[in-house]
Structure 1
Amino acid sequence: MKLIQDAFGSGQDLAMLQMCIRAVVVFFMALIMVRISGRRTFGKRTAFDNTLVIILGAVLSRAIVGASPFWATICSGFLLVVLHRLLAYACIKSSFLDRHLKGMSMPLYQNGKLNKHNLTRSLLTERDIMSDVRSKGNATKLEEVHEIYMESNGEVSVIRNT
């Protein structure tokens, strides 16, 4: 026990070696946490997933620098990951939760018309839309596009006419 205490230190008065040992342990713990949270955490990039990434980074950094008790901080990180996973599973079962935790896609262009209200809600301009039409829809005019959506992860998707 004394060996572990000496290796990890306590409080904020940590030696460089103690912080390095903490960093290595936190790295592997974070890796395990990310594996537990699932691929969607970094793949989907929704507000729901980004929230976990930001908070987990902030929490785990405290363990490295000794701003919070080491093992309590690690346990808090695991709790956040398990909560994220449980909520993601609950979203599979409940469309209400899915809609409110992850958000929904929003039509920006349909039936030959731009939806000005949704453009404003998405903080996008017509120039932004035209940029996405060119880069994602491989088109130069809106007439070549069937629909455009702002997806729940903030990406704009462009569906060309068939």
Structure 2
Amino acid sequence: MGGTLVGGLSLWDYLGITQGAALAVIVATVVLYVTFIVLTRFLGQRVLASLSGFDLLVVIVLGAILGRATMGHTPTLAGGVIAVVTLFALEGVIGRLTSRPRWERLVNNRAVLLMAGPVVLHDELRRTHVTAAELRSRLRQAGIRTDDEVAAVVLEPTGTISVLRRGVPIRPAMLTDVRSAGRMPSDLLSS
């Protein structure tokens, strides 16, 4: 279709894509997307939480692997466009599905109580793969000086950690979908 460029490849070889290769990009993108959802469900919100230096390196490497795997042996502009359109379509479908409670629970992790008042829930830390050091760091960032200042600490479905201070009692409705909310001391809840 055009003149020869580097390595004997034409411009079309860099930009175009065959139907079979297009289908392969779509299938690879869908499979990797579903794999990512399953792994984040299995490993929990911690995967989505703020990144350390090492975590950032892993994300960069993961992005390179996923990009290469979705694009096939010889990446092309058309293949990249197809992969991006497929990802956005998947996001749209998942977004619509998660507006229904049954599907939302399937795709997203529940919020999890990590501290009930001054008590650290070590079993929930283990289950969510959050370390005590990460919890302490988040408490310091929230301006907490002692455990007695804490009403609750919640690992949100997005991976962020919310710190609720003592003072105003917490409405139980605020903890409706939070795993282990039943472990909250009653004196920290409003009636």
TM-score over 0.5 for the alignment?
yes
| Pairwise CA RMSD | 3.7
What is the identity percentage for the equivalent residue pairs of Structure 1 and Structure 2?
14
**Cα distance in 2 between the residues matched to 1:121 and 1:70:** 42
What SS is found at the alignment partner of 1:119? helix
Query: Deviation digits for residues 42-86 of structure 1, max 9, x if unmatched?
Result: xxxx86xx9xx949x7169848xx814543442243122112111
CA contact (8 A) 1:59 1:73 kept: no
TM-score by length of 1: 0.57
Which of these residues, 145, 158, 180, is aligned with residue 153 of structure 1?
158
Gaps of 5+ in 2: 16-46, 49-58, 168-191
Q: Partner letter of residue 79 of structure 1?
A: T
Q: Partner letter of residue 162 of structure 2?
A: S
Confirm whether residue 88 of structure 1 aligns to residue 101 of structure 2: no
Structure 1 residues 14 and 110, CA, compared in 2 at 3 Å: closer, same or farther?
farther
Aligned to 2:74: 67
CA contact (8 A) 2:154 2:162 kept: yes
Confirm whether residue 114 of structure 1 aligns to residue 123 of structure 2: no
**Cα distance in 1 between the residues matched to 2:120 and 2:128:** 13
Q: Partner letter of residue 155 of structure 1?
A: T
Structure 1 residues 82 and 126, CA, compared in 2 at 3 Å: closer, same or farther?
same
CA contact (8 A) 2:117 2:147 kept: no
Bigger fraction of residues in helix: 1
Gaps of 5+ in 1: 23-45
Number of residue pairs matched by the alignment:
122
Confirm whether residue 142 of structure 1 aligns to residue 147 of structure 2: yes
What SS is found at the alignment partner of 1:84? helix
